Structure 1
Amino acid sequence: MRTILITGPGGSGRTTVAAATALAAAREGVRTLVLGTDRNDSLGAALGTATGPDPVEAAPGLSAWRPDPAAGFRDDLARLQERASTVLDLLGAGPLDSEELTPLPGAEEIAVLRALRDAALAEAHDLLVVDLPPTPHALALLALPEELRRYLRRLLPPERQAARALRPVLGRLAGVPMPADWLYETAGRWDLELAALEAVLADRATTVRLVAEPSPAGADAVHTATLGLALRGLRPDALIANRVLPEDAGDGWLAGPLAQQRKAVDEWRAAYDVRRVRHLGHDPRGADDLAALAVPVVGTAPAPVEWPVEDRLAEDGVLVWHIPLPGAVRDDLDLVRRGDEIVITAAQYRRVVPLPSALRRCTVAGAGLREGELRIRFAPDPELWPRTP
């Protein structure tokens, strides 16, 4: 199954482009599901069909779905209360009724991720189009599975489960039941769910598509989004230049916007597969307007992003880790080595990355940014590196 993740700056028309992309695919005979993530039914407004927690048929061959974060939150908390009932009784805590539950911060993101995973792994459709939130929020959402797995493994290391046989004894000595079994079972289930979602995001059939208006503000937003995606190891398959004015719009007050539009599109073409979508003169509503946009369905999938380690031990005595970060600025970069991980900060984005196995036995010898690529040099640690006979 192919998955297209569509994002862009707020107000760029990404929801309209997502709806138009899904509709165009369905009209080509591709069984398509479009997933909305907005609390308001902006997806339904674009399609002309209300969407909600149950998938609806928006057009022949096209289903639309907007998950309900409140329902998922209530179900999760009910299961947690059931598993932790013994501990809650000991604490004198009364259970919460489903009617009094409202989603906590983060529940909406979890609901979207679960819906994305379930839809991508289902066999009912051939194409999944996801209308992601605006770019900064979308990048945080895409980073969430990796971050949550790291937190789980830090708080509940899998190796601690080796002592499960001792827990009944410890419970009798302490005089209280030990909740470790259900706690580790829950953590293990979450880890599997997050791993499945990471696999969907890392799949070569999953691509990111950016939407932006060709203007100075749009150019800045695309530059920032490119850096954030690169830090996640993602590369857009296309850039949709949305609401493009016709070239024959005249020489009046539109001359300035037209010149800015041409400049932005020309700059984007040097790095992206740019697809132009014309301005209709009004907000697109319904199937006819979406079809008139002529949004492309599927572009050429970009090559996977590689972070190779170059062996320069013989020449310079170092290993060099190459990390593509197009658009990065030296003053906005920061690196911190922490155990077997390295924390990379690029402008407003940050990622904690496990070191490749060979680099874990090395010390950082320096780093530099050259031609949009971060190159980190590692020198073998004599105490850890195998000695040659």
Structure 2
Amino acid sequence: MGIMLVTGAGGAGRTTVAVAAALAEAQTGRRVLLVSGDADDGLGVDVLRPTPAADFRREFLALQERSATALDLLGATPFEDAELTELPGSASFALLRALREAAARVRGHERDLVVVDLPPLLDALALLALPEQLRRYLRRLLPPERQAARALRPMLAQLAGVPMPAQFLYDTTARWEEELAAVQAVVDAPTTTVRLVVEPGPAAAETLRTARLGLALHGLALDAVVANKLLPAASEDPWFAALTAQQHAHLAHLRTGHDGAVHALPHLGRDPRGAEDLALLAVDAKPTPAPAWTVEDRRAEDGTLVWHIPLPGAVKGELSLVRRGDELLLAVGPFRRNVPLPPALRRCTVAGAGLVDGDLRVRFTPDAGLWPKAP
């Protein structure tokens, strides 16, 4: 067991599906923890709620305390706890912190499964990409291998009478790096899967394509697609029957456009009321591994190495690739990612790329000046 992340289109019922999944797993005897800011209490499953306001105040006051000497020299007036209100973006960091805490309980064998109620799809994908992005920014701005003259800093600090800013920055960066690495390890773990919730309507197929593309770009597995709020098929009312037929047509389109399972959940005609209603909305899905990024050695055939990057649903016109140093800057649709090259490909030059049935194939030619020569 591990981490189940639940996201989807806005208004599709993400929280309901997340609660139903957590409750169904708990009723089998598993020790389940639900991470959600919107789920109700008293449904038979433990809930861990992110606390953006409290987290922001704690982090801000801790930073203020560590900077007290420098702030005093500048004549700054410190903030008090009672006057602080969280800034935009605090909810994202609070959710990541809650995810890390919940995952620690799984590693500590306190829990078997964590179900996480994520924001709508695009926000969720941006959130899951955040730890890797921030770690990259920190390494570029404050590379740890360039902490020059570390032995001189205590002496310089005594002469100046204040802590050296560089040391303060590196200490803070090291702490952030540790926390971000812990969250990224949870996101990248093979036991972390994503469940997508959509309504069977005109936007469902595009939502699924976007989800598959964004998740594959970040190496995440889509364990199930849930078509929620499906109306009953039999009705004598012409308007209702037409709406139902439209829903079922979109459901069929979803199933033809996805090589995995699409689970249909009924519209209850009301908001779910308690465990009995939620039991009707449980999905029995088996986790599937994320598509693998592999390097194919074709040196014997045509002298190249081919990096296969699965991007289901990608369109050639929405794709761009730029190599910069030991990274590949990959943009596809609304998503961007700076991907470190595998060690073998860092000693190669890019020879071309092609997209075949959702498989991006980037060809590399070994650099004769860097590649080991055969004995």
Per the TM superposition, whether the score is higher than 0.5 is yes
Aligned counterpart for 2:65 among listed residues 62, 78, 82: 82
Aligned counterpart for 1:112 among listed residues 83, 95, 116: 95
* Residue-by-residue CA offset, 1:288-307 (whole Å, 9 max, x unaligned): 3222x2412x5212123211
Residues 296 and 305 in structure 2, CA contact (< 8 A), matched pair in contact too = yes
Q: Which position in structure 2 is the counterpart of 1:22?
A: 22
Q: How does 1:43-122 map to 2 (within 5 A)?
A: 43-44=39-40, 49=41, 58-60=42-44, 62-122=45-105
Mean alpha-carbon deviation: is it higher for 28-37 or for 243-252? Answer: 243-252
Are residues 1:274 and 2:257 paired?
Answer: no
Please tell me the residue identity of whatever aligns with 1:357.
Answer: P
Rounded Cα–Cα distance in structure 1 between residues aligned with 2:368 and 2:86: 52
Rounded Cα–Cα distance in structure 1 between residues aligned with 2:287 and 2:144: 36
* Superposition deviation, residue 201 in structure 1: 1.4
Please tell me the residue identity of whatever aligns with 1:295.
Answer: A
Rounded Cα–Cα distance in structure 1 between residues aligned with 2:338 and 2:237: 51
Aligned counterpart for 2:126 among listed residues 126, 129, 140: 140
Rounded Cα–Cα distance in structure 1 between residues aligned with 2:141 and 2:235: 60
Residues 327 and 340 in structure 2, CA contact (< 8 A), matched pair in contact too = yes
Rounded Cα–Cα distance in structure 2 between residues aligned with 1:324 and 1:200: 21
RMSD between aligned alpha carbons?
Answer: 1.9
Q: Which position in structure 2 is the counterpart of 1:52?
A: none
* Residue-by-residue CA offset, 1:75-117 (whole Å, 9 max, x unaligned): 1111111211122122222211111111122221111000011
Rounded Cα–Cα distance in structure 2 between residues aligned with 1:363 and 1:108: 42
Please tell me the residue identity of whatever aligns with 2:282.
Answer: V
* Superposition deviation, residue 2 in structure 1: 2.0
The secondary structure found in structure 1 opposite 2:190 is coil
TM-score (norm 1): 0.90
Please tell me the residue identity of whatever aligns with 1:221.
Answer: T
* Superposition deviation, residue 381 in structure 1: 2.3
Please tell me the residue identity of whatever aligns with 2:234.
Answer: D
Q: Which position in structure 1 is the counterpart of 2:246?
A: 260
Aligned counterpart for 2:176 among listed residues 170, 173, 190: 190
* Superposition deviation, residue 162 in structure 1: 5.6
* Superposition deviation, residue 175 in structure 1: 6.7
Are residues 1:231 and 2:217 paired?
Answer: yes
* Superposition deviation, residue 251 in structure 1: 6.8
Rounded Cα–Cα distance in structure 2 between residues aligned with 1:164 and 1:207: 43
Are residues 1:295 and 2:278 paired?
Answer: no
Residues 215 and 257 in structure 1, CA contact (< 8 A), matched pair in contact too = no
Q: How does 1:318-329 map to 2 (within 5 A)?
A: 318-329=304-315
Residues 199 and 227 in structure 2, CA contact (< 8 A), matched pair in contact too = yes
Q: Which position in structure 2 is the counterpart of 1:53?
A: none
Closer/same/farther in 2, CA of residues 295 and 142 from structure 1, 3 Å limit: same
Are residues 1:151 and 2:137 paired?
Answer: yes
Could you tell me which runs of 5 or more consecutive residues in structure 2 were left unpaired when the two chains were aligned.
none
Please tell me the residue identity of whatever aligns with 2:126.
Answer: A
Rounded Cα–Cα distance in structure 2 between residues aligned with 1:305 and 1:170: 52
Q: How does 1:338-357 map to 2 (within 5 A)?
A: 338-357=324-343
Mean alpha-carbon deviation: is it higher for 146-155 or for 253-262? Answer: 253-262
Q: Percent sequence identity over matched residues? A: 58
Alignment length (residue pairs): 370
Residues 117 and 200 in structure 1, CA contact (< 8 A), matched pair in contact too = yes
Residues 84 and 179 in structure 1, CA contact (< 8 A), matched pair in contact too = no
Residues 223 and 287 in structure 2, CA contact (< 8 A), matched pair in contact too = yes
The secondary structure found in structure 1 opposite 2:239 is coil
Please tell me the residue identity of whatever aligns with 1:244.
Answer: L
Residues 318 and 332 in structure 2, CA contact (< 8 A), matched pair in contact too = yes
Please tell me the residue identity of whatever aligns with 1:218.
Answer: A
* Superposition deviation, residue 226 in structure 1: 1.3
* Residue-by-residue CA offset, 1:158-187 (whole Å, 9 max, x unaligned): 112363112234446667531333322221
Please tell me the residue identity of whatever aligns with 1:59.
Answer: L
TM-score (norm 2): 0.93
Please tell me the residue identity of whatever aligns with 1:191.
Answer: E
* Residue-by-residue CA offset, 1:47-69 (whole Å, 9 max, x unaligned): xx3xxxxxxxx234x11232220
Could you tell me which runs of 5 or more consecutive residues in structure 1 were left unpaired when the two chains were aligned.
50-57
Rounded Cα–Cα distance in structure 1 between residues aligned with 2:274 and 2:367: 63
Q: Which position in structure 2 is the counterpart of 1:286?
A: 274
Rounded Cα–Cα distance in structure 2 between residues aligned with 1:166 and 1:214: 64
